Each structure stands twice: as structure tokens, then as C-alpha cells.
Amino acid sequence: MKNFITHYARKRYTSFIIITCIALILPFIRINNNHFFLLSFDHKKLDLFFISFSTQELYLMPFLLICLFLGIFFITTLGGRIWCAWSCPQTIFRVIFRDLIQTKLLKIRTSIANKQKNYEGKILKKILAVLIFYALSLVAVSNFLWYFVPPEDFFAYIQNPGEHLLLMGILFVTSFFLTLDVCFLAENFCIYVCPYARIQSVMFDTNTIQVIYDEHRGGKVFDGATKLYKKPPQGECIGCEACVAVCPTHIDIRRGMQLECINCLECADACSKVQNKFKRESLINWTSFEAVEKRQKVRYFRFRTIAYCIVLAVAVIILIFMGSKKEHMLLNINRSSELYHIEQKDGKTEVSNAYIFLFDNTDNKAHEYYFKVEIQGDENALSIVRPSKPFTLKAGAKSKQIVVLKTEKNLSKNKDQDTILPLKITAFALDESEKIKVERESIFVYPKDIQKD
Ligand code: SF4
Ligand code: SF4
């Protein structure tokens, strides 16, 4: 005999477990010492897809945000509030608190099938439920922080809380507000606070998947906001209101699409159990308006979704391309305030210019660095006085180097004014000089023809 009972709740719980495991495990996975995602203000770096970028390379962030927003637009147009029901931490926390802790564990609520009923009394158990959730929220907030303070640092820091008061403050205060939100604000967060809930309906079209009550089969229950019947005189809806009792946002889906509906599909499961007794499919389904109206399958491939796919693919390709252009070292060059320095030595005139080089090893291992300098047209005109030999930089380390370049040649091209010569600087890691190399331009200033004065 055909069974019409749907198991969306079970599938959602599976999705919650997978997402939670991924979120918990991901910060611990490192490849070449880099994380999947880490925005560390401490180490001034961004790890993305296991590649490390210095904060000076944050030009990738706009592309990342563009991909993120395009992804949200695409998913919302295709699957409506699929994020809210299947992945949103708020929904996951509410299921853990209400259905797991309050109902299954402490039996404060008698059944997850009725989310409308308020249970009086049981004060101690209610307090215990909040305390259990606060303990869980410490884990959840820690997990969130691991994307900003890597776990290897986080666990070292919390062993010395006195030295890391800011981190400890963020952990305990955020956990407190998370507990207030989940235990007391509850689904009102989705209805009144969450901005995504407000903007997403503009991305919907008639083919967007939503939770829809089939009025053709079930019968008309509402006329706008006015409830006509509990049980429509014509139609398959028996007016049991199992779909209303189970709804965590306290709405009646038979009224049509509502901002409050988080698409959790609990009403669809509830109705499927009722209709199964009559050997019929649920009157509430995860489908599109057009599919219900025209009695056809949902159209996933349509102009909007294909266009979003193409634009998203282009943005991802650009992001990957930009990511692959990552420099393994960075170099900033500034000239010192003194234009040049003149010194007479063994009857020769020596002219030197000083610079400040800021080296940044953005690679994930230590390297020995040095550089060469050349003036266009005369490669051997300059020598490096300082630093006199290569220096080592640890992975992610920066070093400010005072650089002095000297010439014994007369480079003056004009006896009435200083000569400005274009200077090419090539800095490199000695062990990987082809891969880790940057070129910069600056100037060398030679005084007006001093030797002939
Ligand atoms: S659960 Fe189904 S049959 Fe019962 S009131 Fe809701 S739509 Fe009607
Ligand atoms: S109407 Fe149905 S899908 Fe929407 S929030 Fe209520 S139970 Fe969930």
C-alpha cells in the first residue's frame, strides 16, 4: 500500500547534523598550515580555501562578497527560504532548544507536534533548559570564533584568561545574548529581526520553491486575512489544524505565503500523516505556485536561475584567478627624507640614497631574502651598502630594512639640477628566486654635477 507520509523533519535533522559537523571540524583542518577560512586580525592574514593572504592582499574580499551575494540571490530564487529551514543557525538552535532539550530531554513540552501551547510551571526544569543551552552556546560561539582566532591559538588563550580578557568577554557576552535570543526571542527573531527574511521575497518568482497549501484540493479556508472556515465545505482539508499546531512561527499556511513562514515544512509532514489516513498526498507541499496552478513539475531551469548561474560562475572564476595570482612576498618601498648623501673617499665622490623597504613574507614557510638594484642603461652603477647580506623572515613575518644604495660613478646629466634616475628593484627569496620574486620601481637622485664644480 502506498505511503504518503513525508519525512522533511528527519531530512532537515540530517542536514543540521552534517552542517554542525562541518562547522566544528573545518577550523581544525590545515593544509600547509593554512585554514579553509580564517580572518585573523591577530596574525593580519586571511586564509581562504587553504591559501594564506596578507591583510594587504584583501582585494580578494570584494570578489568573495560578490560571490556570496550572488550565491544567496541564486539559492533564494531557486529554493526560496531553503537557507532558513535547512541551514540557518537560528533554526538549528531553536530545534535543539525546543525539540531536543525542552521536549525530549526535560519533558517540559509534551510533544513536538504542538508548538503553539505554552506550558505553565516546571520553573526549575525551565531554568535548567536555559542553563544547558548556555553551555551549548559557549561551544557554538567558540566554534564561530575559531574562524577569527584559530583553534590552536584559542585553546592556548583560554588557558590564560587574564591575558585575553577581550576574547573571554566576547565569548561569554555573545553566548549570553545567543541564549537570550534562542530561549526567549525564539522565532520572533526570524519574524521581526532577521533582515534576510524581509528582503528575500523580492527575489521570488512564480517558480520559486515554497511551502504551499493546495487550495484546489484542500478548499479555500481564508479570503485574504479573513478566515472563512476551519474546515472548508468542499475540499479535502478536514480542518484538523495539525498544520497550525506544529508551526513554530504560529501561522496558518492555508492563508497563503506569509513573511513569517520559515519553510520548515513541519506543516507538510503533519498534513501528510493526516491525509495518509485517506490515502491521499499532503495538502501542503514544497513546490512552486506555477507547479500547483498548472499541475506540472517545478521548473528549475529558467531565465533567472540560468542567468544567476552564469554570473556566479564568472565571479568564481575571477576569484580563483585572482587567488592564483597571490604574491608569496610583498614589498613596500619608501625613500628616506634625505635626498642624497655625498662623501669624499680616496679622492672619489660617493653618492648614496637611503630607502625604507618593508618586506612581508606571505608564504607559509621561512625564507632568506635579498634584492638587486639597477639603473636603466647602467646595470652596475649602484652597489648595496646596507643591508650587506641576506636576511631571514619567518612565515607571515614582516621586516623593515634600511637600505642604502651607493654609486662612485658620475651619473649627473645636468649640471644645473639634480638628476633623477629610474631605479628597478628586484627582491627575491634565495631558495625559490623564480617563484618568490617581486619587482618594484623607485628613483635614485644624483646631485647636480658636483665633480665639475
Ligand atoms: S493538516 Fe492538512 S487537513 Fe489538517 S487542517 Fe492542515 S491542511 Fe487541513
Ligand atoms: S507554515 Fe509550515 S513551513 Fe511555514 S513555518 Fe509554519 S510549519 Fe514551517
pLDDT digit string, tens, across residues 326-361: 777 889 999 888 888 988 888 888 999 999 999 988
| Domain locations along the chain | 8-202, 207-295, 329-446
Instruction: Name the percent of the chain lying above pLDDT 70.
Output: 97
- Helix axis angle for 266-276 and 8-25, nearest 10°, is 150
Q: How many CB atoms lie within 10 A of CB 291?
A: 17
pLDDT at 271: 97
Cell of 283: 495538502
Amino acid at site 319: L
The answer to whether the CB of 264 is under 6 A from ligand 2 is: yes
Mean pLDDT, rounded, for 94-120 = 91
Mean pLDDT, rounded, for 424-440 = 89
Note the ligand closest to the C-alpha atom of 284.
Answer: 1
- Going by CA atoms, what residue is nearest to atom 2 of ligand 2? 267
Mean pLDDT, rounded, for 162-176 = 95
Amino acid at site 19: I
pLDDT at 412: 84
In the CATH scheme, what is the code of domain 329-446? 2.60.40.10
pLDDT classification of 451: cutoffs 50, 70, 90: low
Mean pLDDT (the chain) is 90
Q: 264 alpha carbon to ligand 1 midpoint, in Å?
A: 16
- 25, 170, 388, 389, 452 from 369: Cα distances, Å: 36, 39, 12, 9, 39
pLDDT at 453: 45
With a cut of 70, say whether residue 450 has pLDDT above it: no
Note the ligand closest to the C-alpha atom of 253.
Answer: 2
Q: How many residues does the chain have?
A: 453
For residue range 383-401, list pLDDT tens digits in order: 899 999 999 998 878 889 9
The answer to whether the CB of 197 is under 6 A from ligand 2 is: no
Mean pLDDT, rounded, for 417-437 = 89
Contacts of 218 (CB under 8 A, 6+ apart): 232, 235, 236, 237, 254, 283
- Going by CA atoms, what residue is nearest to atom 3 of ligand 1? 237
Mean pLDDT, rounded, for 256-265 = 92
With a cut of 70, say whether residue 56 has pLDDT above it: no
Mean pLDDT, rounded, for 212-228 = 92
- Helix axis angle for 303-324 and 60-79, nearest 10°, is 160
Q: 249 alpha carbon to ligand 2 midpoint, in Å?
A: 7
Mean pLDDT, rounded, for 234-243 = 94
With a cut of 60, say whether residue 292 has pLDDT above it: yes
- Give 344's strand partners: 349
For residue range 71-87, list pLDDT tens digits in order: 988 999 999 999 999 99
Q: 88 alpha carbon to ligand 2 midpoint, in Å?
A: 15
Greater confidence, 337 or 173? 173
Point out the least confidently predicted range of 88-92, 151-155, 210-214, 318-322: 318-322
Greater confidence, 325 or 164? 164
The answer to whether the CB of 238 is under 6 A from ligand 1 is: yes
Task: Please give the DSSP secondary-structure letter assigned to residue 78.
Answer: H
Mean pLDDT, rounded, for 51-57 = 71
Note the ligand closest to the C-alpha atom of 275.
Answer: 1
